[in-house]
Structure 1
Amino acid sequence: MLIDATTYPSLHSELGLSSGQPAQPESQKEQQCSTTLIRTSEDLRREKLSDRDIYPVAKNSMSNRVALLITNIKFTDEKLHRKGAEKDEANMDKLLTDLGYEVVKHTNLTGKAIDDALNEFSKHPKLKETDSVLVVIMSHGKLGTVLGVNWKKKISDNEIPDEFPIDNIYKHLGPEKCPALLNKPKIIIIQACRGGGEGSVLVTDGANPAVVSDTAGEGNIEDDGLRFVNKEKDFISLLSCTPDTVSYRHSGHGSFLIQFVVEVFNTFAQKEDIEELFRKVMQRFEDFSIPAKRQMPTKDRCTLTKRFYFFPGL
């Protein structure tokens, strides 16, 4: 959802957006977030990698990192244009590059084209050597889907909606179709609404109301040179909001999710693992003081069995 001064004048003022400044959560105001990526020390990397619960990150694998960035900005229906998404694209491109990832970038794709881009990405030659991948998709969305640029509200009975099923990400990058990423972290960030509902409810705490917006036996098993692996493992996703709710975007500064991801990663990726980074992003929204307008990013389908650190700058 786009926040503009005309539709939500009081909200715009509350956020301080009328002055052209991004909103700052209350608990973070005294903490200065870095505008550039802070580098990890080599000593910290050695210390972390001595832990068996850490995903391996070698210098060679770091130099082969690759990420997929898909941003839908302009739609066939001009009313669906995502003002400010250009800023999101630029911010994520810079962050991914600073983290050491070669960025495969696509803009304004249909649902089928998004699927094709992921299929092509799953065959990227660098995946054999990389330690991880990042996939960022930013568009309009519904629960379980991302909308393609030709999406429209009303379609005829014989038309297929221009949508990309989010579940396809896990199919394309899972071990069956992408063995190169077996046992490697696959990090997904999706900035898209998951419905049309508001993310806030009115709750009452005592007398003080407040607004808070399948088994088989194994005796006869023989080794026939085959190895079974988990169908889905080593994924972690951050979705911009909870199911059936909207997410917000500023026409000048871009979506709040991407703003906070960039700020948190710049400041803390030097020493924190991906799950902690995502938690910190979520915390920014917890303290985000917007009367009756709330958004809460959601960690989804997390199957990481170890901790993953980016070790930026090494």
Structure 2
Amino acid sequence: MDIRQLIASNVDLLASSLAHPSTEFMYYLLEKQLISHVEVKKHREIGITIPQVEHLVRLICRRADTDLANEFVKWLDITEQFELRDKIVGTAAPTAKGDDVTPSQFLTFEEDDGESECESLSPDTTSVLNIVGTRPLPDYVEQVMSDTENVYPISSPTRGIAMIVVNEKSASFQRAGSEYDRKNLNKLFTWLGYQVLQFDNMTSTDLTKKLHDLARNPEQHCHGSFVLCLLTGGNSETVVMADNSKLNTDEILDRLDSNNFPAMAGKPKFVFFDVDSPNSMTDTGIRVPKDTHEELWDRRTGDLKPIQVRSRNSTSLQDIVRQRDTSAPIVTDYISSVARKADFVIFLASFPQYKALHNCHMGSIATRVLVEVFYKHSHSHHVVLLGQKIRRKLGSKTLQKMKQVLTTIDTLSKDFYLFPPTS
């Protein structure tokens, strides 16, 4: 029997599989343009009825596309629904053409601030975000920007350089969906008024030389900020570049500090490390009671109840931005001085030693959420608050049993706004 007929004859089994409101397969069908964004949201909220499942099955079969049916059964295999898979097609695994599908393809989204995840998506794809037009700025913007004691000034017409480095693979890692990360970040920072410099598959030597050259470019004095997005292999301490060479994150930050990048002294530097290693741990989350306050705190004493948590030697966050002890002489003839590591805001896609999730259909999950949050809220929130929004939105996304938390570190002395240009 044709695999499409097998699926069509097992509608009741499919209904029980797809009835959960956060079903991952909805997003696969969305990508295949079999259902709409509105239907996804509706199915999430109220589940899927048997007639709706029958409709989806008819759509799959009407495509006369065995590959699509194969992909569905492959999804059952990936999500470990072996019993359902075996009832439909037996124990023989289907053979599907095209790229392998990883478990990270299937995401479930929860809403944030009442906004739909799909609101900013291009209508023809869920991979590249549709960043167009201008955002109306709040009425208080002029007042905020005039407060130079508490807010970093914004330069115009060019905000600064946004250097985007995407290393898709090396001998020790491969980043699925890197092409989408590249396009999304490029579109975002162009929209925010930055001069984007895009680099692919850089070596450690290439990166350090380019940062050295940028730091000595006299045009940098006219810019109000600097952005570096590095998407590659490695971890919070050491990144792995395209030639498999390693570079300490301290060395990268050193290249951008007030001593080595004097044009940016006293100006904000945004650094986004989206790095991952095959040896990183997977955050599976922990189950907590709904009423956390009532369950975890002792009502009689007010003390926190003991909780058993799996632990492993972890890297201190201070190590990520540790300052080196140098023998450089202290300059005393300046009107004012700036700490070497002042004015940094650093985003790490995941907590040190934990996996940063990504896949071949959507790219990096953290990068995607960062682009979406910056696009939606940079007209009203400063960068530290944007980081909190990213962390909250990442926390509302689930990948089967995988979790991810954005880690932020900042040495900012003022609020750093990315107000997008209004024209």
TM range (shorter): 0.7 to 0.9
The equivalent of 1:18 in structure 2 is 28
The structure 1 segments of at least 4 consecutive aligned residues displaced by more than 6 Å after TM superposition are: none
Q: Which residue of 2 aligns with 1:47?
A: 143
Equivalents in 2 of 1:248, 1:292: separation in Å?
12
Name the counterpart of 1:200: 284
1:83 Cα deviation from its structure 2 partner: 2.4
Which structure 2 segments of 5+ residues have no match?
1-17, 32-105, 121-129, 290-294, 297-306, 310-330
Aligned twin of 1:180? 263
State the shift of 1:40 in Å: 4.2
Q: How does 1:130-209 map to 2 (within 5 A)?
A: 130-151=223-244, 162-193=245-276, 196-203=280-287, 205=289
Deviation for aligned residue 1:291: 4.1
**Of 253, 257, 272, which aligns to 2:362?**
253
By how many angstroms is 1:114 displaced?
2.0
Shift of 1:204: 5.7
Q: What are the superposed Cα offsets for residues 253-302 of structure 1, whole Å, 9 maximum, x if unpaired?
A: 111111111111111011111111111111111212334211111002x1
**Residue 125, structure 1, aligned to residue 233, structure 2:** no
Provide, for residues 142-199 of structure 1, a one-character-per-residue CA deviation record: whole Å limited to 9, x for no partner.
2411111122xxxxxxxxxx11211122211111111100110000111112651112
Q: Does 1:310 align with 2:406?
A: no
Structure 1 partner of 2:166: 71
The match for 2:101 is none
Q: Contact 2:266/2:338 (CA < 8 Å) preserved in 1?
A: no
Q: Give me the whole-angstrom Cα distance separating, in 1, the residues matched to 2:113 and 2:154.
A: 34
Aligned residues of 1:48 and 1:54 also touching (Cα < 8 A): yes
Q: How does 1:273-288 map to 2 (within 5 A)?
A: 273-288=382-397
The CA RMSD measured in Å over matched residues stands at 2.9
Contact 1:115–1:164, Cα closer than 8 Å, also in 2:
no
More strand as a share of residues: 1
Seen in structure 2, the aligned counterparts of structure 1 residues 15 and 177 have a Cα distance that, compared at 3 Å, is farther
| Structure 1 counterpart SS, 2:111 | helix
Higher RCO (Cα < 8 Å, 6 or more apart): 1
Q: Is the 8 Å Cα contact of residues 39 and 311 (structure 1) preserved in structure 2?
A: no
Alignment CA distance shift 1:118-1:54 (3 Å) = same
1:37-116 correspondence runs (5 A): 38-41=134-137, 43-51=139-147, 52-59=149-156, 62-75=157-170, 77=171, 80-116=173-209
| Matched AA of 1:70 | V
**Structure with the higher helix share, 1 or 2:** 2
User: Taking structure 1 as reference, are residues 16 and 124 closer, same or farther at Cα in structure 2, changes over 3 Å only?
Assistant: farther
Partners of 1:234 and 1:150 lie apart in 2 by 31
TM-score by length of 1: 0.79
Match of 1:244, SS state, is coil
Change (3 A) 1:228 1:44: closer
Secondary structure in 1 aligned to 2:24?
Answer: helix
Q: How many residues align?
A: 277
Separation (CA, whole Å) in 1 of partners of 2:108 and 2:372: 11
44 and 147 in structure 1: CA distance in 2 versus 1, 3 angstrom threshold? same
Mark the CA change 1:204 to 1:46 in structure 2 (over 3 Å): closer, same or farther: closer
- Identity among equivalent pairs (%): 23
Give the equivalent residue in structure 2 for 1:218. Answer: none
CA distance in 2, matches of 1:165, 1:41: 39
Using a 3 Å threshold, how does the CA distance of structure 1 residues 20 and 139 change in structure 2: closer, same or farther?
farther
- Please tell me whether residue 31 in structure 1 is matched to residue 115 in structure 2: yes
Q: 1:256 to 1:143 in 2, by over 3 A?
A: same
Residue 109 of structure 1 and its aligned partner are, at CA, apart by: 1.2
Contact 2:138 2:379 in 1 (8 A): no
Aligned partner letter, 1:63: T
* Closer, same or farther: CA 266–304 of 1 in aligned 2, 3 Å: same
How far apart, CA to CA, are the structure 2 residues paired with 1:96 and 1:243?
26
Long gaps (5+) in structure 1: 1-9, 152-161, 212-222
Relative to structure 1, the CA distance from residue 199 to residue 176 in structure 2 (aligned partners, 3 Å threshold; closer, same or farther) is: same
